[in-house]
Amino acid sequence: MGLAIGVDIGGTKVAAGVVDDSGTILDRERRDTPGNDVRANEDVIVDVVETLAARHDVTAAGIGAAGWIGNDHATVLFSPHLAWRNEPLRASLTGRISVPLIIENDANAAAWAEYRFGAARDEAVVVCVTLGTGIGGGLVAGGEVYRGAFGIGCEYGHMTMVPGGYLCPCGNRGCWEMYASGRALARDARELAAQSPVAAQYMVDLAGSAAAITGPIVTEAAAAGDEAARSICTDMGRWLGRGLANLAAVIDPSVFVIGGGVSAAGELLLGPARDEFAHQLTGRGFRPEARVAGAALGPDAGLVGAADLARLLT
């Protein structure tokens, strides 16, 4: 079926790759996300796609964007972490990109990649939760990506977990992603550094200052054995597990796939998530329990899925 380009646009980075029809990435490009500038975002997309297209004979490009994508595969209705509001992204890029293209939600693309090539291959009902700057969600049921009536289904990260809780970029308070995401890891670590500098010293040393602590710094410290970082990851894992139990009550999937950059924490995150999921699951002990697995494709799932969907839909 030829080669396709997948682009995964997150809150902090734009990752792109040339992908073959077995899901293998043959070439890559990466840029920072200029999140507050619509035109600059478009320029970065054009840059990575055309750079890769100049090196490979590709048939299509799929743009996986962090936001609500209309069922037209063309319009970004809203993005909490980027500047798009009712943005006709495909129309804006057409003519600047030399191959046919589609726009897809980044978590939908990741879910599709894990269903086609990864941890959820051939599963009946797949819920994908991507942990990055925020939380993205995707659902594959019966071999189809579920998008909802208007294209904006499965925005799991904006379920209210704590009424009146932390203010979310979406405008509501207490959203799941404010407690189980890279942003949450960094916030909790900075708060710890302010309250107990000695406990957070290892993370502060890694980052250079308390203000510079990021989610990846926390996961790096946790992997190195720092007890404060491990505790923060455990707390986040519990929040993750609670959200999964809520989703199981509604969707009843056969597998949850946890991906995104924060999933690099591995069992430091997934172990507590599985424990909390089992504890919070409605009807526990009297129903089959969905498997909770790390994404086999890791942070590459979004771009692999975007490329594969572009092949299928253009």
Asked whether residue 216 carries a pLDDT value surpassing 70, the answer given is yes
The closest of 90, 86, 47 to 67, measured between CA atoms, is 86
Mean pLDDT of the chain: 94
| Between 90 and 12, residue with greater pLDDT | 90
pLDDT, residue 79, reads: 84
Q: Hey, do 3-112+300-313 and 122-295 end up sharing a CATH topology, with the first three levels equal? A: yes
- 3-class secondary structure, 16: strand
Domains in the chain: boundaries:
3-112+300-313, 122-295
Tell me the percentage of the chain whose pLDDT exceeds 90. 82
Average confidence (pLDDT) over 5-23 = 91
Alpha carbons 308 and 305: distance in angstroms, whole number:
5
Residue 126: partners with Cβ closer than 8 Å, 6 or more residues away: 111, 114, 115, 120, 138, 139, 140, 141, 253, 254, 255, 257
Residues 78, 157 contacting (CB under 8 angstroms): no
pLDDT score at 84: 85
Residue 104, CA distances (Å) to 70, 111, 291 in order: 8, 11, 26
Segment 21-29 mean pLDDT: 97
pLDDT at position 262 is 87
Per CATH, which fold does 3-112+300-313 belong to? Nucleotidyltransferase; domain 5 (3.30.420)
| Whole-number pLDDT of residue 204 | 98
pLDDT at 292: 97
Which pLDDT value is given to residue 10? 75
pLDDT at 56 over 80: yes
**What pTM was estimated for this model as a whole?**
0.89
First to last CA, the chain: 12
How far is residue 311's CA from residue 58's CA, in Å, rounded to a whole number?
Answer: 10
Q: Under CATH, which number does the domain 122-295 receive?
A: 3.30.420.40
Q: How confident is the model at residue 35 (pLDDT cuts 50, 70, 90)?
A: low
Please state whether beta strands 76-78 and 68-69 pair in parallel, antiparallel, or not at all (unpaired). Answer: antiparallel
Q: Please tell me the distance from the alpha carbon of residue 15 to that of residue 20, in angstroms, as a whole number.
A: 16
**Among 29-38, 45-54, 131-140, 155-164, whose mean pLDDT is lowest?**
29-38
Residue 194 has pLDDT above 80, yes or no: yes
pLDDT > 70? residue 12: yes
Q: Are strands 101-105 and 58-65 parallel, antiparallel or unpaired?
A: parallel
Model confidence band, residue 290 (pLDDT cutoffs 50, 70, 90): very high
104: pLDDT strictly greater than 90: yes
